[in-house]
Amino acid sequence: MADHPDLIVARPEGLYCPAGDFFIDPWRPVERAVITHAHSDHARTGHGHYLAHTDSAGTLRVRLGEGIALQTLAYGEAIEHRGVRLSLHPAGHVLGSAQVRIEHGGRIWVASGDYKTEPDGTCPPFEPVRCDTFITESTFGLPIYRWPAQPQLLADINAWWRANAAQGRPSVLLCYAFGKAQRILHGVDASIGPIVVHGAVEPLNAVYRAAGVALAPTLRVTDPGVDAQLLRSALVLAPPSAQGTPWMRRFARHSDAFASGWMQLRGARRRRGVDRGFIMSDHADWPGLQQAIAGTGAERVFVTHGSVATLVRWLREERGLDAQAFQTEYGSEDDDEGPGAAPAADATPQTP
């Protein structure tokens, strides 16, 4: 590797491809940005030109504005820029999420963005992409993180909602507005009762529906016919930021729950002050990270944001790979899957 410059390097603005003169998910304004998905720690305002997957167009415009200069690609569609061949591949994280494959000088690198390996029905599932060097996230890169299968998760949510509805209590489920809310709407049993969503959720629902993703019917609290009687059997989806706000006062005697990967941690539910915790994440768990990395066939792995030190050490000692860390500014996405929710034990990134 010493004979050839790296295809992606860490710069103050973000991850940079010198040969192609573009950045991947930069956190400071740059001229050309390739965006893996529309969560705010990866897609920021101020770039001159954006390149993202076709299904990210709606969410990027909702979040960054209609006026951004946006070019889109389908999965597997390749373009060449300054001699670099670039394509996007499914990451299974949220609608439009993509891994970035770059090929130059006979070498192939893949930057994962955020990803998960279990299909959820709201976006194409993760596909391992063969490469020489893989840049992986490690948000939940500790052995304790092992997610329940999605059918079991949804069965548990349905049972909680059904029991509350039988008692005439609204079921308020705090979940991130982009990704988790749509997974829940895609999979819950809508026959249990009406589903009411916070104003931050519905614009993103519209983007998913426009992309052909089937979601349960939803109401807003301001819609005609939404009254105290209807709310007694409702499932209410709201972002964590709604907790403790006047908006929540509409739901008398409600039971509340929080859906996040951090619910795996003992004490996380207590710190959130909710009745119930559901272990649910749009990121890979520990087995998922291992599976994804192995599937690339990469001999060199860079690890970003999360439990960096643990995953780097495991890759070196257990898999014999050339594993290092990239220092990045990812992982500050809201108060749900970001470090403010419940930091991992060794969440401080290391420099390469």
For residue range 112-143, what is the model confidence (pLDDT) as tens digits? Answer: 999 999 999 999 999 999 999 999 999 999 99
Q: Determine the pLDDT at residue 328.
A: 80
In terms of C-beta density within 10 A (0-12 exposed, 13-18 middle, 19 or more buried), how is residue 58 classed?
buried
Question: Above 50 in pLDDT, residue 339?
Answer: no
Q: Where are the domains of the chain?
A: 9-145+282-325, 150-279
- Overall average pLDDT of the 304-320 stretch: 95
pLDDT at 345 over 60: no
% the chain with pLDDT above 70: 93
CATH class of 150-279: alpha beta
pLDDT digits (tens, 9 = 90+) for 220-230: 999 999 999 99
If you average pLDDT over residues 63-75, what whole number do you get? 97
Residues forming a β-bridge with 89:
99
What pLDDT is recorded for position 3?
62
- Specify the pLDDT at position 330: 78
Does position 277 have pLDDT exceeding 80, yes or no?
yes
Segments of the chain assigned E as strands = 9-11, 14-17, 22-24, 32-34, 49-53, 70-73, 78-81, 84-90, 98-104, 107-111, 133-138, 171-174, 195-197, 235-238, 255-260, 276-279, 300-306, 322-325
Q: What is the token pair recorded at 44? A: 């920021």
Mean pLDDT of 174-193: 98
CATH class of the domain at 9-145+282-325: alpha beta
Q: Does residue 299 register a pLDDT over 70?
A: yes
Number of residues written out for the chain: 352
Confidence (pLDDT) at 170: 98
Strand order from edge to edge, sheet including 300-306: 78-81, 84-90, 98-104, 107-111, 133-138, 300-306, 322-325
What value does the mean pLDDT of the chain take?
92
Domains 9-145+282-325 and 150-279 share a fold: no
Query: With 60 as the cut, is the pLDDT of residue 342 above it?
Result: no
Tell me the pTM. 0.92
